[in-house]
Amino acid sequence: MTDLIIKDALSFLISFVLVTVITPYIQRKSIEIGFVDRPNPRKIHSYPIPVTGGVALFVAFFISQFLIRGFSREFLGFFIASSLILAIGLVDDWYKSQGKEFSALPKFLVQILACSIVFFMGIQIEGITNPFTHKFINFPVWFQYIATVIWLFGVTTVINFIDGIDGLAAGITTISGTTLYFVALMNLSIISTARVSTYMAAALVGVASAFLIFNRHPARIFMGDSGATFLGFVLGTIAVEGTFKVATVVSLIVPILTLGLPIFDNLFVIFKRIKEGKPIYKADKSQVHFRLLEAGLNQKQTVLFLYLVSICFSLTSLIIMLLARR
């Protein structure tokens, strides 16, 4: 176990250090080419800010993973899928930096493709254990595919949606990633893929927490859609590999609660937009952070309050898991 913890610590440290080294370079280059997020009526910043932080997150995460895990077919598949997530996010960010709108359909299709690649490389929600008979119910392949893709796409989307205020998405990812790390650690003896999840979670917490150095208020760089969707995609994958494969009712509840803040907030936003006849992907100010700002909180107070809510969700999920083990 000591050797495993050391590798996780190295995964965290490598990714953390790389983000602190790469981000300033990315920031300068972004300004040079005009790849910046410019103020508009929906934005709360008043000057152009680089929007390419996702590149630093991606590069640092995968260098860390390659050094710790080495190369494999699964690594290549996840790298390709994540590259698609990053690339389409960068295209979307570039359009926005030029004052244009990028169609939601190509982004949706590419993200579904990325989720499909992950599924076909073996990262799947395979079934559930009957709580009364304790027999494993194996889902049909078509249902495994739908459940896995919906989960991965959903988490990718909710982290992106909540990225609307300095430091929020990076902080929520740090809290959720830390929780999923401990969940995977507790599942090491019963899930073969949980070992990979601990590596990934440690690296994810490393990149997200390091990015906060540059992204906390007042932000010097944004992660953009590319970074937020990448973080969400990795979080969703960690949950499948480290939690869902236990295939119990509790294993389904834990990751949902861990990501409770972005999930429940975005469900509220989606239902609100549907009720008002607005497109689901049409950006507005209905997310919880905007509502708190309108209620009178400043940016720092809003972020700290939402961190606290996220921590409460995460602690609840861990308590439920520990109680279920008794």
Whether the CB-CB separation of 252 and 143 falls below 8 Å is answered with no
Residue 137 in any domain: the answer is yes
Which pLDDT does position 323 carry in this prediction? 83
160 is in an annotated binding site: yes
* CA 224/CA 163 separation, integer angstroms: 8
217 Cβ contact partners less than 8 Å away, ≥ 6 residues apart: 165, 166, 167, 299, 300, 303
Buried b / exposed e over 70-100, threshold 16 CB at 10 Å, is eeeebbebbbebbebbbebbbbbbbebbeee
Which pLDDT does position 193 carry in this prediction? 66
Residue 320 in any domain: the answer is no
Residue among 130, 160, 180, 269 at smallest CA distance from 223: 160
| Parallel, antiparallel or unpaired: strands 127-129 and 36-37 | unpaired
Local confidence band at 270 (pLDDT 50, 70, 90 cut-offs): confident
* CA 215/CA 230 separation, integer angstroms: 16
Which pLDDT does position 326 carry in this prediction? 67
Q: Would you state the structure tokens that stand for residue 58, as one six-digit string?
A: 């991606």
Local confidence band at 277 (pLDDT 50, 70, 90 cut-offs): confident
Residue 130 in any domain: the answer is yes
Residue 294 in any domain: the answer is no
**Range of 132's domain?**
1-245
Whether the CB-CB separation of 89 and 224 falls below 8 Å is answered with yes
* The pLDDT of residue 21 is above 90: yes
- pTM, two decimals, is 0.93
Q: What is the pLDDT of residues 244-254, one digit of tens each?
A: 766 667 777 88
User: What is the number of structural domains in the chain?
Assistant: 1
Q: Would you state the structure tokens that stand for residue 79, as one six-digit string?
A: 């790298």
* The pLDDT of residue 290 is above 60: yes
- Share above pLDDT 90 across residues of the chain, in percent, rounded to a whole number: 56
Q: What is the pLDDT of residues 191-239, one digit of tens each?
A: 666 788 899 999 999 999 999 999 998 899 999 999 999 999 999 999 9
* CA 167/CA 213 separation, integer angstroms: 9
DSSP readout, 269-294?
A: HHHHHHHTT--TTS--S-SHHHHHHH
Give the torsion through C-alpha atoms of 220, 226, 232, 233, to 10 deg.
-150
Which pLDDT does position 250 carry in this prediction? 73
Residue 64 in any domain: the answer is yes
- Share above pLDDT 70 across residues of the chain, in percent, rounded to a whole number: 90
Local confidence band at 112 (pLDDT 50, 70, 90 cut-offs): very high
Local confidence band at 286 (pLDDT 50, 70, 90 cut-offs): confident
Q: What single DSSP character describes residue 125?
A: -
Residue 184 in any domain: the answer is yes
* The pLDDT of residue 29 is above 80: yes
* The pLDDT of residue 301 is above 60: yes
The chain-wide mean pLDDT, for the chain, equals 88
Which pLDDT does position 135 carry in this prediction? 77
49 forms bridges with which residues in the sheet?
37
Comparing 10-19, 125-134, 181-190, 249-258, the range with the smallest average pLDDT is 125-134
Q: Would you state the structure tokens that stand for residue 63, as one six-digit string?
A: 């260098």
* The pLDDT of residue 136 is above 70: yes
Instruction: Identify the residue whose tokens are 């409460």.
Output: 312
Which pLDDT does position 228 carry in this prediction? 97
Q: Mean pLDDT, to the nearest integer, of 143-150?
A: 94
Q: What is the pLDDT of residues 38-82, one digit of tens each?
A: 765 555 555 688 999 999 999 999 999 999 888 888 889 999 999
